[in-house]
Amino acid sequence: MSEIDFSKEEKQRMVLKVQKYINEELDCEAGSFEVESLIDNFINEFGAVVYNRALADVHAHLANQMDAMSESIYDLEKPAPYSR
């Protein structure tokens, strides 16, 4: 798996959200550098787990869609005097 990268804008939004959480929920302050380091650590430690879970969810969704399409195809069959 390739490294999980985010744009500067995405990372900045994450930093702001985590800072807000720390300030409001934990009643302490953290600087941008510390929060960005924390986010990078979480991505390195847990990113692959979250990514793999998302892939499993997509796979299950696609399997359900394929089953539904397969049923639709069988519904299109016409009665025939001879069968295979």
Confidence of residue 5 (pLDDT cuts 50, 70, 90): confident
Q: Span 54-79, mean pLDDT? A: 93
Give residue-wise pLDDT tens across range 38-59. Answer: 999 999 999 999 999 999 999 9
Give residue-wise pLDDT tens across range 9-43. Answer: 999 999 999 999 999 999 999 999 999 999 999 99
84 has pLDDT over 90? no
- Within-domain flag for 3: no
- Within-domain flag for 68: yes
pTM tops 0.85, yes or no: no
Domains contained in the chain, number: 1
| Eight-state DSSP code of residue 81 | S
Residue 64 structural domain: 8-75
CA distances 83 to 11, 14, 42, 58, 74, Å, are: 61, 61, 59, 37, 14
